[in-house]
Chains A and B, each alone.
Chain A
C-alpha cells in the first residue's frame, strides 16, 4: 500500500502519477468508445498516446480534460480521486490541452492572450501594461521565444502562436499538458522549438501526453507509449523496446510481417507513362506567388510537387484547378485551353483538386455522406434540375464500397466520420466526376495510419487506371515513394525536376534546400 499523507490524503508524491484514469468506460448510444481503460502519466514523463482514428484517443483526451464524464471508473489527479464536471475543472486541476488549432484570441496582443482573465493590475485597478509586457516577455524567453509581445497574436507564425498557448497554460499552473497533434501545422524549425520546450516542461516536472500521427516525432519526444485499439488499451510500454513496425501493427491489429512488407508507405511503385501529356501548363504566374511554372503530366503518371512551405506548391495546384486568378500562363487539357481562374471550367475540363484544408474547404460538415459525395456531380445526376435519388444512390454505393468508406449509412452526417473517412468522401466526390487530372494537396494529412495506407494504395490504383495525378505532400517519403517524377519548387519557381532514379530522399532534400550537395540539405532552413 502506498503511504497516504495525513493532511491531503494524497499518496506519496514519488509514486503517484500526475494523472491517472482507472478502468474508465465511456459509451455513446450503445457504442463503447472506451472500455475499462487504465492510463497513467507520471510527473516529468512524456507519454505517447497512440491509436488509429476511432481507437478512442480523442474520447480519452476528452474524459481527461473534463469534456466528457466517464460512465464508469475514476480519474485521479496526483493520486487523489477527482471528478471533472466541465473543462474548467480540469484546467483548475492543472490539466491543460494544446490543440493544433490555437484556442486564443487572434486580434489581442501576445501578452494579453497570456494573461487573459488575470491581467496584472496597477493601484487604480486598471491593467498594468508595462508589467504585463515585461512578465510576458520573461515567460516567453524561458522557451527561447523572442517576439514583440505587444503584437497581435495572429500576426505571428502558427508555431509561435502555439508556444504562446503553451506558455499561457504552463503559467496557469499546468501540471499535465496534453498535446493533440501539435505539429501538424508547424514548419520543421518550429517543431524543433516545440520539442525543446517539451524537454523544458519535463524538467519542471510537468507530465506530457503527446498525440501525433507522425512516428518520427513520437520516438523523439516520448519515452513510453499507451496504445489504444477499439476503445481498449492493447499495449503499455517503453518505446525503446518497441520497434516502429511493431507499434504500427499494434495500432492496426495486424501482423508484423504484413506491415513490414508494406514499407513506409502503401505505394506500390513509381508510375511513369509514355503516353502524350494530358495536361500541359505553360508559364503559370501570379505576382508574389508563382513565377513561370511549366508542367506536363501524362495519363497514368503520378507527379510529385516538392517544396517547402511557401515554395508555391499549393499555389501551383490552385492555379491548375482554377482556384487562383493568374497574371499570365495557360493550362491545356488534351490541347484545349482551359479558361483560367474558373473552378467550374477546370472541373468541366477534367481537372479536380482535393484541397489541403479538408474541414474548411472540402467537406460540408452539416450534410450527409451522400450529399457530400454527390455535391459536385449533382447536375449530372439530375434531370431537368430535379435531383434523382436513384442516380445518387448508385454513385454513392459504388464509391462507398470501392473506397471502403465507413459510415453507418449514407445518411450519416459527414462530420461524425473519422478524418480518414472524410478524406475518402472527398476523393469519392471527385471520382464521381470522372476526372482526367487529380490534384492532391496533402491527401494524407491528419488521418490515421490505416486510412493513410488506404489512400496511398488508392492513388496507386487510380494512376494504374490512367488518371494523371499531381501529389503535394509535406512528407518526404510519401512524395518519393508515390511519384514517378518530382518537380521541385523553390520560392515560386521550378528549381529542378527529379526523374527515375533521381527520385530519392537525399536528392529531394538537396533540391528543396536549393543545393546539389545532399549532405548540407537536412539542416537547411529558410
Chain B
C-alpha cells in the first residue's frame, strides 16, 4: 500500500445549506427573539417567558420520546392518545394520592408503548400503521374510561405540578429540564442510545452485529409512551381537569415538527436532543409571537406547516450532500 492517503472529501455543496442544517433552528430562534424585542411590547418580561416555557412543556416532553423513535427510523403517532389515556385514569385513582396516581397513569400509558413496540419489533408492522391504530384506539379507550366526560381534578398536590413553582421556576419546567437531561444522557452516553441510533442507521447491520434489535425497539416505543403519559399528567394538572377528548390532540404533529426542525432526520440514525428542545422552543415562540400580534390561530398552524416543509427540504439537502 502506498503511504499517501487520498481522502475523498465529499463536496460541500452550498455552505449556507450546511450552516442552515446545523444551526438553522437556533438562528430562527434568535431572529424571532430580536423581532419581538423590537416589535412586541412586554415580550421580554420574566412573566411572559415563564408562561411560554410552561406552555411548551407537554410538546417538549412528547418530542423527546418522538426523537428517540424517529432515531430508529420509526414514528409514534399514538402520543396524543396516550396523553388522553393518562388523563382519563387520573380522576379514577386520585383518591390514593399523587404518587400512586402518577404511577398508574404512566403504567397505563406505557402499556400502549409496549403494544406499539411489540407490533413494530416482533410482528413487523410498519411504525406508522401500528401507532396510527393506537392513536385512534388510545383516545377511544380514554373516552370510554371517562364516560366521555370532562372531570375536574382538585387534588392540591397534582395541581401544584401544573401551577406551582419553586424560586419562580414552575415545577413542570423543572420536570421537563430533568427529562431533557436524562434523555440527552441516554442518547449520548449509554449503550442503549448508541444501539438505537445504529438501528436507525442500518437495522440489518445492527441485527447481524448481534444487537438486541427487537428489545431496543420495544424499549424505545415504551419510553415514548411513558414520556407522553408524563406530558398527559402535566397537561391535566395545568388544566385542573381531565379532558380526554381534547388533551394532546394533534400533539404528535408538533412533536414531529420540533424533532425534525431540530435536525433529527426522519430517516433515522441520528438523535439531536438539544435540537429537539430548540425545535419545541421555536414552535412556542412562533405561536406566541403570532398570538400577541392578534394573528388568528389558524395562521400559526399554517406557519407550522411551512416550517416542517422547510426543515425537511433542508434535510433532504443534507442527504444529497452525504
Q: Give the interface of A toward B (CB within 8 A).
A: 28-29, 31, 33, 52, 54-56, 58-59, 68, 229-231, 252-254, 321, 323, 343-344, 346-348, 353, 355, 360-367, 371, 375-376, 378-379, 382, 385-387, 404, 406-408, 412-413, 415-416, 418, 429, 450-451, 453-454
A254 to B211, CA, bound (A): 42
Chain B residues with Cβ below 8 Å from A348 are 210
Chain A residues with Cβ below 8 Å from B1 are 252, 404, 450-451, 453-454
Q: Which of A31, A346, A361 contacts B8 (CB 8 A)?
A: A31
Closest to A28 in B: B9
Query: Are B9 and A29 neighbours in the complex by a CB distance under 8 Å?
Result: yes
Chain A residues with Cβ below 8 Å from B209 are 343, 347, 375-376, 429
B194 at the interface (CB under 8 A from A): yes
A252 to B7, CA, bound (A): 16
Given A378-B195, A387-B189, A360-B4 contact (CB < 8 Å)? no
Query: Are B208 and A415 neighbours in the complex by a CB distance under 8 Å?
Result: no
Closest to A364 in B: B201
B10 at the interface (CB under 8 A from A): yes
B192 at the interface (CB under 8 A from A): yes
Sample (26) of A-B pairs whose CB atoms are under 8 Å apart: A28-B8, A31-B6, A54-B6, A68-B11, A231-B6, A343-B207, A343-B210, A347-B210, A348-B210, A362-B208, A364-B205, A365-B201, A367-B201, A375-B205, A375-B209, A375-B211, A378-B194, A378-B195, A379-B191, A385-B190, A385-B191, A386-B189, A386-B191, A412-B7, A416-B9, A450-B2
Scan residues 59-88 of chain B and give those whose CB is less than 8 A from a CB of chain A: none
* A-B pairs under 8 A by CB, number: 122
The residue in A252, A382, A451 that gathers the most chain B C-beta atoms within 10 A of its C-beta is A382
Given A28-B9, A386-B189, A416-B10, A353-B208 contact (CB < 8 Å)? yes
- In whole Å, how far is A65's beta carbon from the nearest beta carbon of chain B? 15
A376 to B8, CA, bound (A): 27
Query: Are A415 and B322 neighbours in the complex by a CB distance under 8 Å?
Result: yes
Query: Are A382 and B211 neighbours in the complex by a CB distance under 8 Å?
Result: no
B294 at the interface (CB under 8 A from A): no
Chain A residues with Cβ below 8 Å from B2 are 52, 229-230, 252-254, 450
Chain B residues with Cβ below 8 Å from A415 are 322
Given A231-B6, A386-B189, A415-B322, A364-B194 contact (CB < 8 Å)? no
Query: Are B208 and A367 neighbours in the complex by a CB distance under 8 Å?
Result: no
Q: Which of A367, A382, A404, A454 contacts B197 (CB 8 A)?
A: A367
Query: Are A371 and B198 neighbours in the complex by a CB distance under 8 Å?
Result: yes
Chain B residues with Cβ below 8 Å from A429 are 209
Query: Are A361 and B205 neighbours in the complex by a CB distance under 8 Å?
Result: yes
A378 to B197, CA, bound (A): 13
Given A367-B269, A371-B198, A385-B190, A361-B10 contact (CB < 8 Å)? no
Query: Are B6 and A33 neighbours in the complex by a CB distance under 8 Å?
Result: yes
| Mask: chain B, 257-298; 1 = CB below 8 Å from A; 0 = not | 000000000000110000000000000000000000000000
A52 to B2, CA, bound (A): 10
Q: Which of B190, B195, B208 contacts A343 (CB 8 A)?
A: B208
Query: Are B7 and A416 neighbours in the complex by a CB distance under 8 Å?
Result: yes
Q: Which of A56, A229, A353, A366 contacts B270 (CB 8 A)?
A: A366
Query: Are A363 and B6 neighbours in the complex by a CB distance under 8 Å?
Result: no
A40 to B9, CA, bound (A): 26
A451 to B2, CA, bound (A): 10
- In whole Å, how far is A352's beta carbon from the nearest beta carbon of chain B? 8
Query: Are B5 and A406 neighbours in the complex by a CB distance under 8 Å?
Result: yes
Given A343-B210, A367-B269, A375-B211, A408-B202 contact (CB < 8 Å)? no
A480 to B10, CA, bound (A): 39
- In whole Å, how far is A338's beta carbon from the nearest beta carbon of chain B? 13
Closest to B202 in A: A364
B50 at the interface (CB under 8 A from A): no
Query: Are B6 and A355 neighbours in the complex by a CB distance under 8 Å?
Result: no
B33 at the interface (CB under 8 A from A): no
Closest to A378 in B: B191
Query: Are A230 and B205 neighbours in the complex by a CB distance under 8 Å?
Result: no
A253 to B2, CA, bound (A): 7
| Mask: chain B, 35-48; 1 = CB below 8 Å from A; 0 = not | 00000000000000
Chain A residues with Cβ below 8 Å from B201 are 364-367
Query: Are B8 and A364 neighbours in the complex by a CB distance under 8 Å?
Result: no
A385 to B186, CA, bound (A): 9
Chain A residues with Cβ below 8 Å from B195 are 378
Query: Are B198 and A367 neighbours in the complex by a CB distance under 8 Å?
Result: yes
Chain B residues with Cβ below 8 Å from A376 are 209-211
Closest to B12 in A: A29
Chain B residues with Cβ below 8 Å from A343 are 207-210
Query: Are B205 and A386 neighbours in the complex by a CB distance under 8 Å?
Result: no
A55 to B212, CA, bound (A): 39
